[in-house]
Chains A and B, each alone.
Chain A
Amino acid sequence: MSSALPVVGRLDVGLPVHISVHKSGGRDVWSAPLESAPEDAVQATWDALNEVLDPEIPISLPELGLVYGVEVEGGVATVSLTYTATACPCMEFIREDITDRLISESWIDSVELVELWDPPWTSERITPEGRAKLKLLGVSA
């Protein structure tokens, strides 16, 4: 691939490489980390994810139907997820919120996110609990 364009080095203009300065909302509802490793790490991971709200809609990522699967092995939590749209502007927020929530647990050493597009997300994936909360907010889905 030819490239005659000038290669401009990244300027230090204060932009962080990891944009975690941009915290999304909802972190105030996060519980304190568990004091010890849970018996059921997968369920505990789901419980933690249920506290991570979508940055635009105040229901959790599992309630919105974005989380496709959770595995925990050897301190590594693997979360399979999707997004509502291919150009979702909140992808980075969601990645950081999931990672920050899970990594706060002493029994999780690292978090791996597997981003999937199959099956595609549709509003059909919103859980009954999520729909009920949206209804209270005056949003139909």
Chain B
Amino acid sequence: MSDALDPAKMGTADKAALERLILTLADSKRLMGIRYSDWLLGAPSIETGIAASSMAQDEWGHARLLYSMLKDMGIDPGPVEHDRQAEEYASIGSLDEEMPDWAALVAAIVLVDGAISVVLSSFATGSFESARGRVPKMLSEEEFHSSLGAAWYRRLAAAGGEAKELLTAATKSILPPTLAWVGAADDSTGRMVAAGVIAPAEDRLATFRGAAREFTALVGIDIDAVDATPEWDGARGRTPGHPNEEAVQRARGDLNRALFVE
């Protein structure tokens, strides 16, 4: 474990890099929660919908804890959570649009939620004290998401037919932007690696590929042969684009702006 990092002693560029890292994780969690919530009703069973509800709740809890880490750098998380435009979101590109079917959500649980956990695991053992103290709880809650996603992925892949076709299509669609996000190696991410906040890109990618390989193989996809999306928005730490407006309105709480109690 690295020595603790003191945000108060960080240079401007390093601070900006840490802020961007926190935002990529927090925004991704917030959008992941919305994608789970899209399937509270309409999942294959009531029990599965309830599981989606619980996972949405977890994701928003994680997002809240991650946004609150901005306080360590003197940033008020309130405006960050409630005032940004869609174009300012740093969430992983794989979550920009609603999952079109249940198989796509299952692929997102395994590959996107899984990818976020890979980066969070690295964050939890790095030099940023707030992450060390808060992320382990998130990861313990993520174990349930991982179990459910794995079971459903195997189930749909084994079912064949349309279920497997949809799962395959979703996996193909999700992987390139997800690989780009996990393997980010721009200047900002490089600063966080150098400061011991997260692991190097090749380590993060190896962990992600190692965890996902057995699943993508079930739908005939060799994850080692998939290329990451080449375009990259270094300012936000994600692929170009942004979450759809409806999701961002929900993330910001636009309909309840006058009623916030926190």
Are A5 and B258 in contact (CB-based, < 8 A)? no
Chain B hits for A19, CB < 8 A: 261
Q: How far is the CA of A9 from the CA of B132 in the complex (A)?
A: 37
- Pick the contact of A86 from B132, B137, B254 — CB < 8 Å? B137
Whether A1 sits at the interface, judged by CB under 8 Å, is: yes
Are A87 and B259 in contact (CB-based, < 8 A)? no
- Pick the contact of B83 from A3, A10, A89 — CB < 8 Å? A3
Whether B140 sits at the interface, judged by CB under 8 Å, is: yes
Are B83 and A15 in contact (CB-based, < 8 A)? no
Are A87 and B136 in contact (CB-based, < 8 A)? no
Question: Which of A47-55, A58-66, A69-77, A115-123 faces chain B?
Answer: A115-123
Are B85 and A5 in contact (CB-based, < 8 A)? yes
Least CB distance from B67 to A in Å reads 12
Ordered nearest first, which 3 A-B pairs have the shortest CB separation? A87-B61, A86-B61, A120-B137
Whether B57 sits at the interface, judged by CB under 8 Å, is: yes
Task: Kindly count the residue-residue contacts between A and B in the assembled complex, taking CB atoms under 8 Å apart.
Answer: 68
Are A3 and B79 in contact (CB-based, < 8 A)? yes
Main secondary structure of the interface of A (DSSP, over half): loop
Chain B interface residue bracket vs A: 20 to 34
Main secondary structure of the interface of B (DSSP, over half): helix
Known contacts A85-B58, A85-B61, A118-B133; is-contact A8 B138 (Cβ 8 Å): no
Known contacts A117-B134, A117-B137; is-contact A1 B84 (Cβ 8 Å): yes
A-B contacts, 23 listed (Cβ < 8 Å): A1-B83, A1-B88, A2-B88, A3-B79, A5-B85, A5-B252, A5-B254, A11-B258, A13-B259, A17-B261, A19-B261, A86-B64, A86-B65, A86-B138, A86-B141, A87-B60, A87-B61, A88-B61, A117-B65, A117-B134, A118-B132, A120-B137, A122-B140
Least CB distance from B33 to A in Å reads 9
Are B83 and A87 in contact (CB-based, < 8 A)? no
Contact with A along B137-150 (1 / 0, CB 8 A): 11011000000000
Q: How far is the CA of A73 from the CA of B245 in the complex (A)?
A: 51
Chain A hits for B88, CB < 8 A: 1-2
Residues facing A in B195-233 (CB within 8 A) are none
Are B136 and A117 in contact (CB-based, < 8 A)? yes
Whether A141 sits at the interface, judged by CB under 8 Å, is: no
Known contacts A86-B141, A87-B57; is-contact A1 B65 (Cβ 8 Å): no
Residues facing B in A93-135 (CB within 8 A) are 116-122
Chain B hits for A1, CB < 8 A: 79-80, 83-84, 88
Task: With CB as the reference atom, state the residue of chain B lying closest to A3.
Answer: B83
Are B261 and A5 in contact (CB-based, < 8 A)? no
Least CB distance from B247 to A in Å reads 15
Known contacts A9-B258, A87-B57; is-contact A116 B79 (Cβ 8 Å): no
Q: How far is the CA of A119 from the CA of B85 in the complex (A)?
A: 36
Q: How far is the CA of A31 from the CA of B30 in the complex (A)?
A: 42
Chain B hits for A32, CB < 8 A: none
Q: How far is the CA of A10 from the CA of B253 in the complex (A)?
A: 14
Whether B257 sits at the interface, judged by CB under 8 Å, is: yes
Task: With CB as the reference atom, state the residue of chain B lying closest to A120.
Answer: B137
Whether B62 sits at the interface, judged by CB under 8 Å, is: yes
Are B133 and A117 in contact (CB-based, < 8 A)? yes
Chain B hits for A82, CB < 8 A: 137
Least CB distance from A11 to B in Å reads 4
11 A-B pairs besides A85-B58, A86-B137, A120-B136 with CB distance below 8 A are: A2-B84, A2-B88, A4-B85, A86-B58, A86-B65, A86-B141, A87-B62, A117-B134, A117-B137, A118-B132, A120-B140
Least CB distance from A36 to B in Å reads 38
Q: How far is the CA of A134 from the CA of B85 in the complex (A)?
A: 47
Are A118 and B58 in contact (CB-based, < 8 A)? no
